[in-house]
Homo-oligomer: A and B are copies of this chain.
Amino acid sequence: MEAADRVFLRRGTHGARMAEIAAEAGVNKALLHYYYRGKEKLAEAVFLRMLRRLLPAVVETMASDLGLEEKAARTIESYVEQLSRHPYLPGYVIGEVTHHPDRLPQLVAGIAGGRFEQAIAKLEAQIAARVAAGTLAPTSARQFLANVLSLAIFPFAVRPMLQAVFGLDGDGFAGFVAERRGELAGFVARGLRP
């Protein structure tokens, strides 16, 4: 399964070869079909694992009682840490959802189980209270979430492009991320102010 993760993340569902996964796992090709019934099922299992790796943490954070700025800061911290360790993760997920959007809805529904609505409702309540108190620029939970996730994830998704455009090698990108980690929470917090 871990070998499948690695190969699917690196090559994408269409680019991945069952033989390569088998080799990566040090195992015969037929064994994959014995355990997982064909490439389709395996791909779905991998994709589901990746969604589970990405979504629950942020949902839980957003549904908590923390302040909006603190929620943003923790979400950013969590993604920066995880995506630094898994470079192919965001590009893989984005490629999958654009090229196979069909299987997404049920998977998301299965993962969330109503906790999304909970998190959204919590955010909406916080936002309404703070807008009323004059300590927040008017917005919606959807926009707040989109902003935080965009800023946290996007640079990792286009990492090869940023490296090419800015002329960075691996260490250079790490430096960029470190710099970003120091600034981002403040940028969001200021953006939230009225």
| Complex CA–CA separation, A101 to B108 (angstroms) | 29
A97 → B minimal CB distance (Å): 4
Number of copies: 2
| Complex CA–CA separation, A139 to B176 (angstroms) | 11
Interface residues as binary, A149-192 with B (CB distance below 8 Å gives 1, 0 otherwise): 11101110111111011100000000010011001001110111
- Cβ of B137 and Cβ of A186 under 8 Å apart? yes
Q: Quick check: is A10 within 8 A (CB to CB) of the other chain?
A: yes
Spell out A's residues near B (CB within 8 Å).
Answer: 10-12, 14-15, 88, 90-95, 97-99, 101, 104-105, 108-109, 112, 116, 120, 137, 139-140, 142-143, 146-147, 149-151, 153-155, 157-162, 164-166, 176, 179-180, 183, 186-188, 190-193
